[in-house]
Amino acid sequence: MHFFGYAFAILSAVCSARAQLVNANNNTFGNVFNFWTKRTDGWDLTRGNSTNAITLALPHPEGNVTIQPAASALVIIDMQNFFLHPDLGGDPLGRALVPTTIDMIHAFRANGMKVFWTNWGLTEFDLMSMPPAFFRGFSSDGTSATSFGSDMGTIQGNISVGRKLMRGSWNAQPFGDLFEEQVGGVANGTDFYFNKNRLSGMWGTSTPMQTFLEDNLITTLFFGGVNIDQCVWGTLLDSYYKGYDVILVDDISATTSPSAATGMVDFNAALNGWRANSTDILPTLM
């Protein structure tokens, strides 16, 4: 038999045996490559790697969630000047999230879990390929002249706001103290910055964030940021579609939308994964 035939036969036998082992247990959900284990006290998401595992008591009817720190990350979405700075009409509810978000960042780093910054950061090519609905949605006055890529002028006399949500512009950088956290974290290798060109940071066949997740075997994602019903929800939902564990952290998420929008996200996030608050997570991590 040809070498590749032998290799394929061996791989098939191993996968078949492992699949039978996994499927023989009615408390195991998934497949040989990606599975959860249901326990009497909740769920084990470590996929068989329990080294330094952490168990979080989340407010979910099905109990605790045990995670593998090396396979877990905090995803912070769109906490940018454009959405939060008061001189740009930013959301005060979003600004109020900053201290708790920083507490979460520090706790994740301390436990060896990565921090992802997933923000709008457009290029000239993105402008060439952007659908008309997005240009309309980000127009300030109903014309395309004030949408993506337009010059937003200056504020406070000397701050150049830059072109709307373009990569490297001041308006696209993290807001307030989050900017120092992001710069310091990236420099120290604990944090990673991913630009996106749609509401979802996981939209499309592959994105920079998804490639990083795959390369680093990260499977469990905690989500926060703005807006909870738009970019946070879109990124969480695409992550869920692609097979990642999704945990929405409510008290580091906000929106300018009516309360019903948050209610929809909370309801469906609990079906797709889990909902939590930082108060459910920080005591264990700290």
pLDDT digits (tens, 9 = 90+) for 154-189: 999 899 999 999 999 999 999 999 999 999 999 999
What tens digit of pLDDT does each residue of 28-74 get? 999 998 999 999 889 999 999 999 999 999 886 768 999 999 999 99
Does some domain include residue 60? no
**Is 54 among the domain residues?**
no
Q: Are residues 112 and 224 in the same domain?
A: yes
- Expressed in angstroms, the distance from the first to the final Cα of the chain is 56
Q: 35 in a domain, yes or no?
A: no
Do 16 and 112 lie in one domain? The reply is no
- 173 and 246 share a domain? yes
Question: What pLDDT band is residue 23 in, cutting at 50, 70 and 90?
Answer: low
The CATH number for 86's domain is: 3.40.50.850
Q: Is 102 among the domain residues?
A: yes
CA atoms within 13 A on the CB side of 280: 20
Same domain, 194 and 81: yes
Domain identity same for 107 and 1: no
Within-domain flag for 145: no
Q: Would residue 6 count as lying in a domain?
A: yes
- Identify whether residues 186 and 275 lie together within a single domain: yes
Residue 235 domain-assigned (yes or no): yes
Same domain, 216 and 275: yes
**pLDDT confidence of residue 2:** 54
Instruction: Say yes or no: 196 and 273 in one domain.
Output: yes
Q: Are residues 222 and 273 in the same domain?
A: yes
Same domain membership, residue 277 and residue 224: yes
Q: What is the mean pLDDT of the chain?
A: 92
Residue 231 lies in a domain: yes
Question: What distance in Å separates the CA atoms of residue 97 and residue 254, rounded to the nearest whole number?
Answer: 8
Q: Domain range holding 20?
A: 1-27
Q: How many distinct structural domains can be found in the chain? A: 2
92 and 185 in a single domain? The answer is: yes
247 lies in the same domain as 173:
yes
| pLDDT interval class at 4 (50, 70, 90) | very low
Cis peptide, bond prior to residue 227, ω within 30 of zero: yes
- Poorest-pLDDT segment among 25-29, 44-48, 111-115, 236-240: 25-29
Q: Could you tell me if 97 and 104 are in contact, meaning their C-beta atoms sit under 8 angstroms apart?
A: no
